[in-house]
Structure 1
Amino acid sequence: MTSSIESAILAEKIGMMAFSKEFKESSAKMGYATLRQIVSEDPAILQKKDGFNYIWLGELLEFLTENNLLHLLQSTQGNNGI
């Protein structure tokens, strides 16, 4: 269960957040407007999207770690495949 702070972060538009221009552009290209959409995506689908790369993933992981949200990438089966 996410806290109200987590929910607010996940619902905020990526374009309004402190991400790099490249991260914002890649997220938009992949069809993601919020972090909630990203962390809800199946990792196998995420990796195949046009615009996905490991620099983008690294920035996402850094942001999630800094905000104590990295656990949201953990799949329910314990291995997200990324």
Structure 2
Amino acid sequence: QLAQRMAQGLSEAGFAVEVAAYGMAALRFVDSSVYDLVFLDVMLPGLNAWTLQKAIRQQGDTPLLFLTTKGGIEDRLRG
């Protein structure tokens, strides 16, 4: 799984990493902790990245990085 490989690489580089496989789990993470950066899979099961983005933005200005296999201009602009 890509998320696990990314987490392993970031951990090996000295970063603290948490991985959520579902949108609701990600929402619980961001509701209970402060993060320096959040990676969001656009097609995350449950709550999607756009819904999570709104919840995260209500809490502050945490930088977000959207990951997607979608290549359309609309998807890029939305992110």
Shorter-chain TM-score tier? 0.3 to 0.5
TM (normalized to structure 2)?
0.33
The two structures have a TM-score, normalised by structure 1, of 0.33
Larger helix share, 1 or 2: 1
Whose strand fraction is larger, Structure 1's or Structure 2's?
A: 2
